[in-house]
């Protein structure tokens, strides 16, 4: 059945099963990606028929743009804080909802809820919370820290993005850690208990080492997601105040579609791709080495 | 005698292992309380939005925690009409259903092809699909918009659906690929000998066996496509084509200071997902859980 010999037979099988999905994949991913690479080295914007080779000029323009460099550093800071907080909280939540208490499925559902709703809507919800509710609480309780909107202060606006990012993703990563925790053989934990290991020792010596796969996946996903975050950024802070919370994704979008700088914009987008790809590959490789068998 | 001692020793060792029942109970209560507090923290933004969606602007400004003075649906009626909710809902529904169905149909066929026909290029195809998953959309969007814009393909739901196939095919094919590998092919061969065509073998014999992974992929893709903002905002230009995230975005942008109506718009946008969640909670949690470890 699977031994087509003639070319015609092979073409038939291919067009039957593989042509349409591969055509869509090529048209939507491969071609724009290849053209994107061309764009970063030329002055071509996809419109004109003439192309001039510009070498690394677009990249030079990108790196000499102080707004881009600032955006790069804000993004790195954002990724770092979101990565750590999301995974610590998600792991904690997973421990909590696998402890065997009453209603743990209900709690799982609750913690996961933000992941059902798109970033645009989540950002608007929190815009209301930060600009109205928290300010109101600050006034009523007379707390200096909350009495003016965090969204109007460059330092605090950054933290609103982190808070919403962590709130949103931790429920998703919790599910990954639940999968990891339930995959640990019960017999191992019982044996440890008999040997007199405390709960804390069981956690550090048995659960964590056996869950490296879950950590690898969760850290990978958090990295990937937080590097390209756009929608919450758009609806919560819109990059403000004074472009202080303009994450890379928004910076690239504005550069291309607001200011029409296609070449440098695409170079910036490509830098984003290189960063994401490099970090993701290094992270997965490094963590694979830590994995142990039960 | 021997027998007697062992029955005496056994309950003793058990008592050593298990913590005192009272202590155990107290621990359970503490964990439950902790979870409840966290649950409230995760849900309170939604609750506040719902609460304020029934209030007038002034009431919201004065106290976002107060209960509505009278239960009025005015905000909802206005938001429903102004954001043209029914049209946005239908657009979202059409785009999501068509996209998810074609992703499932074509990815499952492609994966079947890649597993069963062991041509040399099939390894390469699978590698390209997997490798492409690391590309952030931002690295594609500038060339994508210029090329598709020049070809006059933007501003159509069907282009958007085609795009979702192109972007969705890699993960779905990868997941199907892992699943199909473990299916023995004897059944298929029997059907083939009985005179079934290749397509019939796939649809009647193989595809029904893929049900669990199909549900997982469908859930991940529904959540992704229903909530997506950036891609539709680039493709769908006409107001009549707007999806729910898009129309919420434009509505909110215009009526930022009309808090009551803005909150009502957010609730309207959230309702369909929450209904979907309540109907499918088990499959959603399970689907995301399995999808995340594949």
This model of the complex carries an ipTM of: 0.91
* B257, closest residue in chain A (CA to CA): A128
* Chain centroid to CA B277: 10
d(Cα B182, Cα A54) in Å, to the nearest integer?
Answer: 50
Same domain, A78 and A17: no
pLDDT in tens, A218-258: 999 999 999 999 999 999 999 888 889 999 999 999 999 99
Contact A17 B165 (CB under 8 A): no
Sign of torsion, CA B240 B246 B248 B250? negative
A210 within some domain: yes
Percent of the residues in chain A that have a pLDDT greater than 90, as a whole number: 56
Same domain, A151 and A268: yes
pLDDT band at B5 (very low <50, low <70, confident <90, very high): very low
Same domain, A163 and A247: yes
Instruction: Check which CATH number belongs to the domain holding A204 and give it.
Output: 1.10.3720.10
Q: Determine contact: B8 vs chain A, CB below 8 A.
A: no
Q: Determine contact: B159 vs chain A, CB below 8 A.
A: no
Same domain, A169 and A35: no
Q: Which of B110, B142, B266 sits opposite A36 (nearest CB)?
A: B142
Which residues span the domain enclosing A81? 56-293
* A26, closest residue in chain B (CA to CA): B166
Contact B230 A231 (CB under 8 A): yes
Same domain, A120 and A215: yes
A44 within some domain: no
Same domain, A129 and A247: yes
d(Cα A69, Cα B75) in Å, to the nearest integer?
Answer: 43
- Taking every pair of Cα atoms in chain B, the longest distance, rounded to a whole number of angstroms, is 93
* A248, closest residue in chain B (CA to CA): B138
A213 within some domain: yes
Same domain, A161 and A190: yes
Same domain, A277 and A185: yes
**Backbone conformation region of residue B77, classed left if phi is above 0, alpha if psi is from -120 to 50, else beta:** alpha
* Helix, strand, coil share (%) of chain B residues, nearest 5: 80, 0, 20
Determine the average pLDDT of the residues in A204-208: 87
CA distance B190 to chain A (A): 10
Contact A227 B143 (CB under 8 A): no
Same domain, A28 and A115: no
A46 within some domain: no
The pLDDT score that the predictor gives to residue B10 is 41
Same domain, A211 and A66: yes
A48 within some domain: no
| Test the A interface: residue of B32, B44, B143, B244 with most A CBs within 10 Å | B143
Q: Which of A27, A112, A270 sits opposite B285 (nearest CB)?
A: A112
Same domain, A1 and A107: no
Total number of domains in chain A: 2
* A261, closest residue in chain B (CA to CA): B142
Q: Which residues of B touch A132 (CB under 8 A)?
A: 60-61, 64, 259
Same domain, A30 and A79: no
Q: Which residues of A touch B147 (CB under 8 A)?
A: 31-32, 35, 46
pLDDT band at B294 (very low <50, low <70, confident <90, very high): low
pLDDT at B17 over 70: no
A211 within some domain: yes
A120 within some domain: yes
Q: Determine contact: B205 vs chain A, CB below 8 A.
A: no
Helices (H) and strands (E) in chain B, counts: 15, 0
Angle, CA A106 vertex, CA A172 and CA A92 arms, to 5°: 50
A256 within some domain: yes
């Amino acid at each position: 059945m699977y031994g087509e010999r003639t070319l015609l037979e092979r073409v038939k099988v291919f067009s039957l099963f593989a042509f349409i999905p591969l055509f869509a994949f090529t048209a939507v991913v491969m071609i724009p990606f290849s053209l994107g690479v061309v764009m970063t080295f030329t002055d071509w914007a996809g419109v004109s028929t003439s192309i001039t080779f510009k070498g690394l000029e677009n990249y030079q323009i990108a790196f000499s743009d102080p707004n881009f460099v600032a955006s790069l550093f804000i993004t790195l800071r954002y990724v770092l804080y979101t990565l750590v907080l999301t995974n610590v909280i998600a792991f904690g939540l997973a421990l909590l909802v696998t402890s065997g208490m009453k209603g743990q499925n209900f709690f799982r559902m609750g913690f996961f809820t933000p992941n059902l709703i798109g970033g645009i809507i989540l950002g608007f919800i929190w815009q209301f919370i930060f600009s109205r509710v928290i300010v109101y609480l600050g006034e009523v309780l007379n707390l200096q820290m909350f009495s003016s909107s965090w969204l109007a202060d460059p330092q605090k606006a950054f933290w609103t993005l982190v808070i919403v990012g962590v709130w949103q993703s931790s429920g998703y990563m919790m599910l990954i850690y639940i999968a990891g925790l339930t995959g640990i053989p019960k017999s191992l934990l019982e044996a440890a208990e008999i040997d007199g290991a405390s709960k804390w020792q069981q956690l550090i010596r048995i659960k964590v080492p056996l869950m490296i796969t879950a950590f690898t996946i969760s850290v990978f996903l958090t990295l990937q997601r937080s590097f390209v975050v756009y929608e919450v950024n758009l609806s919560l802070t819109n990059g403000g105040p004074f472009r202080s919370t303009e994450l890379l994704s928004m910076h690239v979008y504005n550069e291309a579609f607001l200011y029409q700088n296609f070449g440098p914009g695409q170079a910036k987008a490509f830098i984003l791709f290189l960063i994401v790809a490099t970090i993701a590959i290094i992270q997965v490789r490094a963590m694979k080495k830590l994995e142990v068998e039960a | 005698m021997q027998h007697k001692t062992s029955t005496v020793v056994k309950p003793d060792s058990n008592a050593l292992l298990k913590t005192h029942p009272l202590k155990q109970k107290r621990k359970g209560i503490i964990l439950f309380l902790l979870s409840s507090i966290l649950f409230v923290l995760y849900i309170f933004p939604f609750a506040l939005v719902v609460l304020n969606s029934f209030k007038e602007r002034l009431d919201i400004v004065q106290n976002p925690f107060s209960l509505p003075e009278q239960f009025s649906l005015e905000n909802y009626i206005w938001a429903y009409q102004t954001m043209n909710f029914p049209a946005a809902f239908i657009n979202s529904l059409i785009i999501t259903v068509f996209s998810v169905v074609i992703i499932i149909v074509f990815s499952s066929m492609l994966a079947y092809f890649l597993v069963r026909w062991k041509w040399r290029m099939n390894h390469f195809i699978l590698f390209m699909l997997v490798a492409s998953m690391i590309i952030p959309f931002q690295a594609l969007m500038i060339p994508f918009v210029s090329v598709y814009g020049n070809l006059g393909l933007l501003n159509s739901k069907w282009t958007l659906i085609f795009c979702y196939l192109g972007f969705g095919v890699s993960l779905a094919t990868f997941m199907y690929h892992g699943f199909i590998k473990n299916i023995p092919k004897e059944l298929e061969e029997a059907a083939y000998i009985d005179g079934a065509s290749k397509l019939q073998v796939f649809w009647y014999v193989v595809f029904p066996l893929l049900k669990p992974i199909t549900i997982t992929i469908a859930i991940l893709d529904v959540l992704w496509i229903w909530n997506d903002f950036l891609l539709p905002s680039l493709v769908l230009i006409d107001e009549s084509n707007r999806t729910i995230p898009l129309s919420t975005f434009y509505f909110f942008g215009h009526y930022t200071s009309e808090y009551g109506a803005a909150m009502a718009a957010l609730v309207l946008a959230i309702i369909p997902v929450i209904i979907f969640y309540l109907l499918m909670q088990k499959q959603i949690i399970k689907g995301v859980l399995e999808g995340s470890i594949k």
